[in-house]
Chain A
Amino acid sequence: MMNCPQFLDALSDLLDEELDPAAAATLRQHAANCAACGAVLASSRQMLAWMGDSQNFALPPTASVRLRELLEQQLGSPGSRSKPGRLGWAWLWLRPRWAAALVLIVLVAGLARWRAGATSVSGWLIDQGCAVTYHAHPGDHPVTCLRHCAAKGVALGLLDAQGRFRRFDARGEQSARAVIAATNRSDDMWVTIKARSASHGVLDVEQIALTTPPGIQ
């Protein structure tokens, strides 16, 4: 007998028609007998239909014209410019192993500079792989960052309404979330993480998680 949490766990697969017929029938049966799950299923279907409707979030015709004009201006008229494709940094992004090797080199170099006191806290955090870890192991990155930082005498946290530094506990993300919930003054779920160390004081930490892989800039 299916219950509501089980139904919700499989809801996306049902909406995407990625279930085998027997499993889908079981879910539909539950939705038919459970008013709440039936309403969630119907409204989710409605929502996805609106999302998939190309009239919503449509590119304005004027924007399309501006794009064409910009491209013609930048690329030139047909046949008037050299062929595309200049080797840039994109090869790193498209070659994860090479990118990983570069990160290792940067990490070693970053640590050396950190020991010499010549780099910023934010640069050191990025060198530590916090940003790259986000892509490789999304669940790990805050903890990994916090532990790296704690081992190096750097505290992560944010400023409360009085401007006091409130550090995250190095044990994990939940404690960080508690601090964020208690002190968040932003209006849109974004928070500015700060780092504090004895040698650097309190500094901004840039791009801890929402980051661009090495590559196209």
Chain B
Amino acid sequence: MAESAAVVDDDQELLQRVRAGEREAFYTLVSRYERPLYRSALAITRNPTDAEDVVQETFLRAYEHLAQFRGEAKFQTWLTQIALNTARMKLRKNHGALWESLDQPRATEEGVLPRDVREWRENPEQQLGREEIEALLHQALKGLPAGYREVLALRDLQLLSTQETAEILGLSVANVKTRLLRARLQLRERLAAHLGR
């Protein structure tokens, strides 16, 4: 927690320097947050090129709109909001009209309860290799609805708190928790098909 507070203070100091015209301070912030933002963007857009575009556009927009950031939220939260909206716009552009709701359990092929409850293989990294595990994760995430990918991206990839995730997604904390549980169970179910003993 103390480390997190120190990072926030450091962000504020860097932002002051950016506002004073010191461009290198902005690049320091870019270096600090480009990786977590990319992880989320990749999970949401499902495409490395789109994810890279999202990160680029996020930092350009953040710089352009820095006057609107008053420091009421953490800088990372603000950046992530921009990245999320940029990723959503990219999805909309790629997929045309979209519609989905996640607040009712899916009545079709995937319920909330896990079906594959086999134990997973021991030491799957040794058997499959890290790249294969990453590919499995990527493939499993791809099949989830966007709302589930978003909550997993923020909580489990970017490691934001439930409260921060709720603020970014415009949901209640309770709603984030419900959505996160369903998302995790669905993701686990998809991985279990490949990793079960």
Chain A partners chain B? yes
A-to-B contact residues, CB < 8 Å:
5, 8-9, 11-13, 15-16, 18, 35-37, 39-40, 42-44, 46-48, 50-52, 54-60, 63-64, 66-68, 70-71, 74-88, 90-91, 93-94, 135-136, 138-139, 141-142, 173-174, 177-178, 181, 188-193, 204-213, 215-216
Within 8 A of A (CB), among B23-74: 23-24, 26-27, 30, 34-35, 38-39, 42-43, 48, 52, 55-56, 59-61, 63-68, 70
Known contacts A39-B118, A43-B120, A210-B100; A77/B30 CB under 8 A: no
Q: Is the CB of B95 within 8 A of A190?
A: yes
Q: Which of B62-114 contact A (CB under 8 A)?
A: 63-68, 70, 81-82, 85, 88-89, 91-92, 95-104, 106-108, 112-114
A86 touches B34 (CB 8 A): no
Q: Is the CB of B101 within 8 A of A142?
A: yes
Q: Let me know if B68 and A59 touch, CB within 8 A.
A: no
Q: Is the CB of B67 within 8 A of A86?
A: yes
Q: Which residue of B20, B52, B56, B181 is within 8 Å of A83 (Cβ)? A: B20
Contact B38 A63 (CB under 8 A): yes
Which of A9, A75, A142 is the one whose CB lies under 8 Å from B63? A75
B66, B81, B98, B187: most-surrounded residue (chain A CB, <10 A): B98
User: How far, in angstroms, from A44 to B82 measured CA to CA in the complex?
Assistant: 30
CB of B152 within 8 A of chain A? yes
Is A68 a contact of B38 with CB atoms below 8 Å?
no
Which of A18, A43, A79, A83 contacts B192, CB < 8 Å?
Answer: A43
Contact B188 A43 (CB under 8 A): yes
The answer to whether A12 touches B92 (Cβ under 8 A) is: no
B120 & A135 in contact (Cβ 8 Å cutoff): no
15 additional contacts, CB 8 Å, given A44-B184, A138-B102, A209-B99? A13-B177, A15-B184, A42-B120, A48-B156, A48-B184, A50-B137, A71-B26, A76-B23, A84-B67, A190-B98, A192-B96, A207-B98, A209-B100, A210-B91, A210-B92
Give the complex CA separation of A149 and B181 in angstroms: 33
B147 CB to nearest A CB, Å: 8
A39 touches B119 (CB 8 A): yes
**Cα–Cα, bound, A79→B171 (Å):** 40
Q: Can you offer 10 A-B residue contacts whose CB atoms are under 8 A?
A: A18-B162, A40-B117, A59-B38, A67-B52, A71-B63, A76-B23, A83-B21, A88-B64, A138-B101, A138-B175
Interchain nearest-CB distance for A92 vs B (Å): 10
The answer to whether A12 and B184 have CB atoms under 8 Å apart is: yes
CB-based closest 5 A-B pairs = A85-B67, A135-B170, A78-B23, A36-B117, A59-B38
